[in-house]
Amino acid sequence: MGEDGNGAGTMDEDSRFRLLVDSITDYAIYMLDTNGVVTTWNKGAEHIKGYRADEIVGRHFSIFYTPEDRASGLPERALAAALRDGRFESEGWRVRKDGSRFWTNVVVHTIRQADGTAIGFAKITRDLTDRKKAQTALAESEEQFRRLVLNVTDYAIYMLDANGVVTTWNQGAERIKGYCASEIVGKHFSTFYPEEDRARGLPQRGLETARREGHFQAEGWRVRKDGTRFWASVVIDAIYAEDGTVVGFAKITRDVTERMEQQKRLDQAREELFQAQKIEAIGQLTGGVAHDFNNLLMVVLGSLEALGRRLSLDSRESRLLDNALQAAQRGSQLTQRMLAFARKQELEQKPVDLPDLVRGMSELLGHTLGSSIQIETRFPLSLPKVFADPNQLDSVLLNLAVNARDAMPDGGSLVISARPAEAEADDPHLQQGRYVVLAVTDSGQGMDPDTLARATDPFFTTKGVGKGTGLGLSMVQGIAEQSGGRMQIESRVGVGTNVQIWLKAVDETAAPCQPERQDGQAAPAGMDRKLTVLAVDDDALVLLNTVMILEELGHDVVEAHSGEKALAVLEQRRDIDVLITDQAMPHMTGVALAREVAGRWPNLPVILASGYAEINDARALRLPRLAKPFGRIELERVLRRVSEGMGSAVAR
């Protein structure tokens, strides 16, 4: 075979290269002359740009550029750069034959002859539209996320570098912490911690925990730009590089001060409920014990008084009897305090003029406090009367004065004052209306917060063993609340104590109360005749004492140990003038007995004897009350009052 035969059967190098280029479809590979006119065109160019070779060869390559790029001279600049540097590369939008746009990567190489003369350009274009869309979507997603984070206002979300320096800052961080981004980016995040936490290394420990475990979470005080503190819930998450090293931290802070305050209020409410339940339980126990003790004291006092009247004693024996009476009377006072604490004391409320009451006690208070304490009263010229039990107000003032005296061992001043006041509708402790605030203020040692918090606890005292019952302030509080008011205490160590008693003011437009007859007035004529009294009590000792007093007063007495037996007596006898009954009896209470009597014998007066105050049915029946423990004087007084209505029907 000759050389021509070999040439006919073998493809030359140029042909093979042309065939290779023409078969590539993922890249547009074509040639331009020095003016930018297309001279060659491969299948990839046809696939990507949409033109066949016969449609594009001979046309300027700027046809592939967008109108705005052609207007800016971008095609010419690309060729000039390739001519100058030998190569030009860029990315941008190009236009297909159908007018649609696609994102391309473009490389232009200058083609030169052996002597260096440029004879054209080789241009390679790759369609990167899908990658561009993915990048755009990712960028948009990242931008949306960035905007989302930046615009969150309820959470402080920001980044720290590996050393704890702030690198980003969102609106929530600005709102919660008070710093704008320009003020805090570049500063260490420990700026937000209180000084004491920084001194203990708390910020560093948080970062180290997140670095070691990947996550750190805690709550604590943080500091705003203006120096105020807030309670924060903090989360720190470590951010890792591909090789696993920590390159920074994501930090989320939430202001939970309000939640903490709500939790504190809830805890306080639970504690108050627990204390109220505890006090209520103690009150029930105290009231029951005081009631039973009252019965025993009534027997003791009645028996001692009867012995004193019936026996002729020498001076030594008389002193012994007086000592026993005084001890029993002190026990009676203690039960009164216990009943006052338990809100079960009998109150005889009436309009009381506070200035007159205090003036009437001035001598007693002076003797009680001693010469080292100066007593001062401050009352306005016009002050409404209060609705209260004057005897109990005496006890209140005396108790507060004794407490003040004990707080001023070296002397001082005691100020008793009063002022009118109004209770608002939203006051949880008082009904809306007019009040008078009775205040007792001393210049004594005062109480620390812990002592003040326990001041009204029953049986709590700072006076030492045997020097106080711990019921004084509890009694004052009980009387105030039972009277429809309240007690408030303010005290500071080294300054003194101020106790305020809120008492209901008397409505001056209401009908005036009828004054009670004083003991010095003569007894009504009805008392001259002997009465037949039915005495009812389930306690044999108390009943014996009541019978003894009635007989000493010259009356005939019929005994009954229960309500049922009392009804049986009334069925058989029509000569009963007065019925005196205990309240707390099994099977039938005194009120139940009185209701039965009112229905069957409406003209028979019933006197209810009890140490308890909260007997609403007794008020509804308008029953005369005899507070236990009672003696001869109290029993004679109530019989006189009842005898005034003898012969009239008992109101039902």
Confidence of residue 132 (pLDDT cuts 50, 70, 90): confident
140 inside domain: no
141 inside domain: no
370 exposure class (CB count in 10 Å sphere: 0-12, 13-18, 19+)? exposed
CA distance linking residue 67 with residue 49, whole number of Å: 16
**pLDDT, position 155:** 85
Answer yes or no: do 379 and 500 share one domain: yes
Q: Tell me, what CATH number does 399's domain have?
A: 3.30.565.10
* 479, pLDDT greater than 80: no
pLDDT above 90 covers what percent of the chain? Answer: 36
Answer yes or no: do 383 and 241 share one domain: no
Q: Minimum mean pLDDT among 45-49, 103-107, 386-390: which range?
A: 386-390
- In this structure, the number of other CB atoms found within 10 A of the CB of residue 428 comes to 4
pLDDT, tens digit, for every residue of 1-34?
444 444 444 556 666 656 666 667 678 999 999 9
CB-based contacts of 86-91 (< 8 A; 24+ apart in sequence): 86/110, 91/128
**pLDDT, position 522:** 39
Residue with tokens 């903490």, as numbered in its chain: 260
177 inside domain: yes
Mean pLDDT, rounded, for 113-131: 90
Q: Minimum mean pLDDT among 202-216, 253-267, 445-459, 567-581: which range?
A: 445-459
In contact, 408 and 443? CB cutoff 8 Å:
yes
Domain with 25, as residue range(s), is 12-133
Q: Which of 472, 504, 536 is the last residue of a domain?
A: 504
pLDDT, tens digit, for every residue of 317-345?
777 777 777 776 666 655 655 555 444 55
628 token code pair = 């236990």
Confidence of residue 217 (pLDDT cuts 50, 70, 90): very high
How far lies 480's CA from each of 289, 436, 471, 620, in Å? 22, 12, 14, 23
Q: Tell me, what CATH number does 168's domain have?
A: 3.30.450.20
Answer yes or no: do 116 and 49 share one domain: yes
- The residue ranking higher by pLDDT, 152 or 551, is 551
Answer yes or no: do 429 and 545 share one domain: no
436 inside domain: yes
652 inside domain: no
Whether the upstream peptide bond of residue 629 has omega within 30° of 0, thus cis, is yes
4 inside domain: no
Helix (H, G, I), strand (E, B) or coil at 119: strand
Answer yes or no: do 483 and 572 share one domain: no
Answer yes or no: do 460 and 597 share one domain: no
Strand partners, 113: none
**pLDDT, position 448:** 85
Answer yes or no: do 448 and 590 share one domain: no
How many CA atoms, within 13 angstroms, populate the side-chain half-sphere of residue 574? 0
Answer yes or no: do 449 and 535 share one domain: no
Name the domain count of the chain.
5
Please give the helix or strand (H or E) that residue 88 lies within, else none: strand 87-95
**pLDDT, position 631:** 79
Answer yes or no: do 381 and 477 share one domain: yes
Answer yes or no: do 107 and 229 share one domain: no
Mean pLDDT, rounded, for 430-442: 89
pLDDT, tens digit, for every residue of 163-206?
999 998 888 888 899 999 899 999 999 999 999 999 999 999 99
CA-derived radius of gyration, the chain: 51
Mean pLDDT, rounded, for 65-85: 93
Give backbone dihedrals phi and psi of 195, rounded to 5 degrees, phi first. -55, -40
pLDDT, tens digit, for every residue of 373-383?
898 999 998 89
275 token code pair = 């204390």
Q: Which of 200, 222, 255 is the last residue of a domain?
A: 255
650 inside domain: no
166 inside domain: yes
Please give the helix or strand (H or E) that residue 396 lies within, else none: helix 390-407
Answer yes or no: do 364 and 468 share one domain: yes
Answer yes or no: do 362 and 485 share one domain: yes
Q: ∠ at Cα 54 (48, 57), nearest 5°?
A: 75
Q: Which of 341, 364, 390 is the last residue of a domain?
A: 341
